[in-house]
Amino acid sequence: MNNIRLSNLKYAAAPLAIGLALISTPSFAQNADEDTASNPGIVVTGSRIVRPDLESTSPVTVVGSEEIAATGTTRIEDLVNTLPSVVGGQNSFISNGASGTATVDLRGIGTTRTLVLVNGRRLQPGDPTLPVADLNQIPAALVERVEVSTGGASAVYGADAVAGVVNFVMKTDFEGIQLNSQYGFYQHSNRNKEVVDTVGGSDLTIRDRMDQRGFSYPTGNVVDGQQWDTNLTIGGNFGDGRGNFVGYLGYRQVNPILQGSRDHSSCALSRSASSNRVTCGGSATAPNATIADLAFGDIVFGTAQSDGSIGPYGGAYNYAPINYFQRPNKRWTAGFFGNYEINDNIDVYAEFMFMDSRTVAQIAQSGTFFNQYDIACNSPLLSAATGASLCSQLDTAAAQTAGLDSTAGDGIVSLLIGKRNVEGGARRDDLRHTTYRALTGARGEITGNWRYDVSLQYGTTVFQETYFNDLSSSRLAKALNAVNVGGNIVCAVNADAISSNDDAACAPYNPFWGQGIVTNAANGITQAAIDYVNVPGFQRGTTEEYIASGYVTGELGSIGNASPIGLVLGTEYRKVQIDRSVDAAFATGDLAGQGGPQQNINGEFSVKELFTELLVPIVEDAPFAKSLSLELGYRYSDYTSIGSTHTYKILGEWSPIDALKFRGGYNRSVRAPNVVELFSPNVIGLWGGSDPCAGATPTFTAAQCANTGATNYGGIAASPADQYNQIGGGNPNLFEETADSWTGGVVIDGSSFLPGFTATVDYFNINIKDAIQGIGAQTILNTCGLTGDAFFCSLIQRDPVSQNLWVGNNAFITNTQRNIGGQKVDGIDVGVNYSRELGSGRVSLNMNGTWYNSFRVDTGVVVPAQNLDGKYDCVGLHGSVCGTPLPEWRHTARLGYSMDNGIGLSVRWRYVGAVKTDGNNPDADLGGSVDPRSDISAQNYFDLTTDFDINDTFSITAGVNNIFDRDPPLVDGRFSSNANTYVEVYDPAGRYVFVGAKMNF
């Protein structure tokens, strides 16, 4: 889809920006597949061609098992998120909006654009609503190394490798018995002094703001978030060494951390729209119900009083302390890797991986969340004076004309009620993923230098979600419809004189009498009422992936005296199915705390592919050309969903001398739309923003509002929570994204002049076009109002009576997926490694980092009249448009010393560069305003690890990450992913202490 050119616009939906770090061994690829003794060549991640060395034409970063152990990693995503090319995705520190999975996002251009491999083969989708690989399936103790190849790899591995691939190479040739066990915990001293706002020359911390609100917070030392991880590995050879079998079993348990256990997360920071001040905010849905009536063009707030009246508004509720900071998790893993060489021509192999992971995401209690309820003016839940007052204001012909009342004079008023269900407990999202991955195949020699590899693979994920302690809107409507029968207050449906539609379990729910469980329905919330309105929600689903693959590889003739030309010819078939079913509560949107209904998803696609690669040595051992070669690749894909696609690569390398090599080239990659993007139903959900036509004094003019369908100028109610309805979902007319990736770099090998020294410098440039994304509901609304463009205005439907965009199911903006705009990112990766013998041991130093030159986002919408070209650059920024921090520079460096007696010590330095808020930027596409108070300074973290080889059987590793217990930088709720910070970028919970033991038998 070409860019849409318009005369005006506000902003598009925020992209994910990127934060980077790296801990690694030298940036040379290592053996990604073990070959048989008859062919000592190796296969490098990013290619299937057998090579004679470990170096790749594409940049490849490698993290070895020793580095994994040194970081105290039990969650593999914690390790991956420190790599320079990775920005954090779903992890255990996300609660509201958690999928229960762990994901990886190379270059910050989206998890769907990163392909995850295990031993060079795809890892199946890990969730039916987020169909990307779940890293929870990877047991950290079984990982031999992690290889990350960036810059596009679709020609080799197929769609989704737009940013590159992350390949987990497992320990498939282990012999013996090994038991790994590790224990860790977080320790934090609550002493936060970070300035969150400055008023009148006085600096205010988050503690100051909580003191002003009367909120409590912890002080002193806290120890929590304990983690246990144990893995047993058994392996050995059989059949006179012709076969090998490795089996493993692992268990991990993670304890929760509450936001209320840290002073810096004990309230939800927010910025007041009226004063532009950062304060401890909260929710208008409070324990003592906040009542709002749909007055003319505005919302009038009040707080329920103990006598059934509505008094002055009591202020926002601090929902933060009960939220999970770190989610609890219990995970089992098991599996095996095996092979048996029948003869030189047939080596059969098999892999099986199992995982069962269960986690709970806890957030604050549910509530009525200002849903609209009809209340009788003479309801026994209200005082007589309050009922009469409401009827005189709202049960009128004028209110009916304004769309605030359905039938004037019927003794019924429509109220927006914000009652927090503190009596019913926190909302708990119980998420369980059970995965199975099975692979079998055969490989061997055909003749001479020609070999084959054929395999069948099946992967499935079984998903279960049970959402506890939400409220049923339909049951609330019945429970709020109370009557007095003979002095007993009962639900109207239970009063035979009122209705024959009895609901025996219904008990009156009285939000007008404040907080607390009591026995008299007239005096508050009863246990019977809670039991009636609290309902669970259920979702179940599966993902399945079938892959049949085969290829041959061998050698052709040579050019001159150079090595033979390497060739790969192959074919692959892949089928992906996703099925998700929801119960009636989810499907009808009856759960008050969900923001909208969720529907079943069922769909599939398949693809047939042909691929080839060529490695062409041109010159070897010549003057100024120790080696010169080309690497070529092509893949043809035929999808049942989008038709045919073509991907290819042209790479080259030149070594004028042994110590120096230049490498680089071009990759064309694609990403086909996944099943969710294609087939998920279009349903109503929420988006955060504002309606420029709402309130008594709208931002837009009357003519601009008329463009959006609003003619009742000055008489449209704004959402009290700044949340509005949108229709989101899939689009069966989507087609593939395309990406052009360029890389170029230099590799320095110091073996001839400085033994132990290596360095790499690589430039990357990725340009994505026809990106699969939504335009953004706010962009649609603003563009329609300011320009009157028919396309955008056709996507807006206001309520036919009230003309708002947030009450009921007849008001929404259609913001489904489409191919529009793109992204372009470029920068430089740097790796420096040095090691040498020193005294009675060896000293080692490595530093790896990434510098970003640009991260350009193209919304696909151009508005010349407002100086908006639809493009903006997020390097060095974070915020409501750019999202996750993307510092210009981020690195990790490690200095270590290993003694000959088996004792080692290392110090790691993790650096995250400074970022400014995207609102503090003159670019009109980013807002063009100045707001420096949300800028984040550079962050430095230091880690210490020591290890002891007691003997050949037993070793211990202990360490402390974030030695100085540095608090995370704080931002307000417009930006944070959880707990007032970016938990996927910064250390959120304090100092992490761990100790691990390894026993070999």
Give pLDDT tens digits for 57-82. Answer: 778 888 888 888 888 888 888 888 88
Strands 4-5 and 861-862, by their bridges, are parallel
Q: Around Cβ 307, how many Cβ atoms within 10 Å?
A: 13
The 3-state secondary structure of 354-406 reads EEEEEEEEEEEECECCCEEEEEECCCCCCCHHHHHHHHHHHCCHHHHHCCCCC
pLDDT in tens, 942-959: 999 999 999 889 999 999
Q: What is the DSSP string of 317-360?
A: B--STTSEEE--EEEEEEEEEEEEEEETTEEEEEEEEEEEEEEE
Tokens standing for residue 730:
């899939």
3-class secondary structure, 22: coil
3-class secondary structure, 51: strand
Q: Distance (Å, rounded) from C-alpha 692 to C-alpha 706?
A: 11
Please give the pLDDT value at position 173. 87
Q: Measuring CA to CA, how many Å separate 65 from each of 62, 68, 72, 305?
A: 10, 5, 11, 62
Q: Measuring CA to CA, how many Å separate 911 from each of 935, 939, 955?
A: 17, 6, 30
Query: What letter represents residue 233's amino acid?
Result: T
**Strongest mean pLDDT among 46-50, 133-137, 401-405, 867-871:** 133-137
Please give the pLDDT value at position 354. 97
CB of 631 closer than 8 Å to CB of 665: yes
Residue 28 pLDDT greater than 60, yes or no: no
Closest listed residue to residue 197, CA positions, set 934, 978, 867: 934
Positive/negative CA dihedral, 752, 756, 757, 760 = positive
- Report which secondary-structure segment, H or E, holds 196: strand 195-199
Average pLDDT of the segment spanning 533-554: 96
Q: What is the DSSP string of 15-65?
A: PP--------S-SS---SBPPPTT---EE-TT--SEESSS--SS-EEEEEH
Per-residue pLDDT band at 881 (split at 50, 70, 90):
confident
Q: Around Cβ 62, how many Cβ atoms within 10 Å?
A: 24
Strands 889-899 and 954-961, by their bridges, are unpaired
Residue 105 pLDDT greater than 50, yes or no: yes
Q: Could you tell me which residue, 32 or 592, shows the higher pLDDT?
A: 592
3-class secondary structure, 640: coil
Tokens standing for residue 146:
């992690």
Please give the pLDDT value at position 34. 36
Q: 108-117, 297-306, 877-886, 904-913 — which is least confidently predicted?
A: 297-306
Average pLDDT of the segment spanning 256-260: 97
Positive/negative CA dihedral, 838, 841, 843, 844 = positive
Q: Could you tell me which residue, 729 or 58, shows the higher pLDDT?
A: 729
Distance from the first to the final alpha carbon of the chain: 61
Q: Where are the alpha helices (DSSP H) in 174-320?
A: 206-213
pLDDT in tens, 690-723: 899 988 889 899 999 999 999 989 888 777 667 7
Closest listed residue to residue 491, CA positions, set 379, 366, 378: 379
Residue 682 pLDDT greater than 90, yes or no: no
- Non-local (6+) Cβ contacts of 811 within 8 A are 724, 725, 797, 798, 799, 802, 804, 805
Q: 539-565 burial, b if ≥16 CB within 10 A, otherwise e?
A: bbbebbbbbbbbbebbbeeebeebbeb
Closest listed residue to residue 252, CA positions, set 224, 233, 230, 232: 230
Q: Domain segments of the chain: what residues?
A: 4-260+326-362+431-465+540-676+737-773+818-1000, 683-728+777-814
- Report which secondary-structure segment, H or E, holds 254: strand 243-254
Q: 121-135, 349-363, 616-630, 794-808 — which is least confidently predicted?
A: 794-808
Q: Distance (Å, rounded) from C-alpha 412 to C-alpha 728?
A: 34
Residue 84's Cβ-count burial label (10 Å; 0-12, 13-18, 19+) is buried
CA dihedral 915, 919, 924, 930 (to 10 degrees): -100
Q: Distance (Å, rounded) from C-alpha 629 to C-alpha 53?
A: 14
3-class secondary structure, 529: helix
Residue 514 pLDDT greater than 70, yes or no: no
Length of the chain: 1001
Strands 164-170 and 114-118, by their bridges, are parallel
pLDDT in tens, 312-345: 778 788 999 999 999 999 999 999 999 999 998 9
CB of 147 closer than 8 Å to CB of 85: no
Q: 217-221, 290-294, 844-848 — which is least confidently predicted?
A: 290-294
Q: Where are the alpha helices (DSSP H) in 760-852?
A: 777-787, 790-793
Tokens standing for residue 134:
């779940």
Q: 624-637 burial, b if ≥16 CB within 10 A, otherwise e?
A: eebbbbbbbbbbeb
DSSP state of 241: T
3-class secondary structure, 19: coil
Q: Around Cβ 898, how many Cβ atoms within 10 Å?
A: 18
In degrees and rounded to multiples of 5, residue 473 shows phi and psi of: -65, -40
Q: Around Cβ 316, how many Cβ atoms within 10 Å?
A: 19
pLDDT in tens, 354-378: 999 999 999 999 998 888 888 898 8
CB of 366 closer than 8 Å to CB of 593: yes
Per-residue pLDDT band at 15 (split at 50, 70, 90):
very low
Q: Distance (Å, rounded) from C-alpha 183 to C-alpha 250?
A: 14
Please name the residue that has the structure tokens 């934060």: 19
CB of 153 closer than 8 Å to CB of 115: yes
Provide, rounded to the nearest whole percent, the portion of the chain with pLDDT above 70: 90
Q: Which residues pair with 940 in a beta bridge?
A: 911
Structural fold of domain 4-260+326-362+431-465+540-676+737-773+818-1000: Maltoporin; Chain A (2.40.170)
If phi over 0 gives left and psi between -120 and 50 gives alpha, with beta otherwise, what is residue 669? beta
Closest listed residue to residue 871, CA positions, set 861, 885, 880: 861
Q: Distance (Å, rounded) from C-alpha 490 to C-alpha 483?
A: 6
Q: Distance (Å, rounded) from C-alpha 540 to C-alpha 40?
A: 47
Please give the pLDDT value at position 248. 96
Please give the pLDDT value at position 873. 93
Q: 179-193, 240-254, 850-864, 914-928 — which is least confidently predicted?
A: 914-928
Residue 297 pLDDT greater than 80, yes or no: no
Positive/negative CA dihedral, 806, 810, 814, 815 = positive
pTM score of the predicted model:
0.89
DSSP state of 69: H
Please name the residue that has the structure tokens 């460096």: 893
Q: Distance (Å, rounded) from C-alpha 971 to C-alpha 980?
A: 5
When the pLDDT of each residue in the chain is averaged and rounded to a whole number, the result is 86
Please give the pLDDT value at position 403. 64
pLDDT in tens, 406-454: 788 888 888 888 889 998 899 999 999 999 999 999 999 998 889 999 9
Per-residue pLDDT band at 8 (split at 50, 70, 90):
very low
Q: Measuring CA to CA, how many Å separate 676 from each of 541, 594, 605, 672, 680?
A: 12, 19, 11, 12, 5
Q: 292-301, 565-574, 686-695, 822-831 — which is least confidently predicted?
A: 292-301
Residue 956, CB half-sphere, CA atoms under 13 Å: how many?
7
CB of 109 closer than 8 Å to CB of 23: no
Strands 818-819 and 269-271, by their bridges, are unpaired
CB of 859 closer than 8 Å to CB of 871: yes
Please give the pLDDT value at position 646. 96
Per-residue pLDDT band at 55 (split at 50, 70, 90):
low
Please give the pLDDT value at position 518. 60
Closest listed residue to residue 375, CA positions, set 513, 509, 477: 477
Q: Distance (Å, rounded) from C-alpha 213 to C-alpha 317?
A: 10
Please give the pLDDT value at position 72. 82
Strands 86-88 and 104-106, by their bridges, are antiparallel
Q: Around Cβ 153, how many Cβ atoms within 10 Å?
A: 28
Please give the pLDDT value at position 273. 60
Please name the residue that has the structure tokens 């300035």: 195
Per-residue pLDDT band at 380 (split at 50, 70, 90):
confident
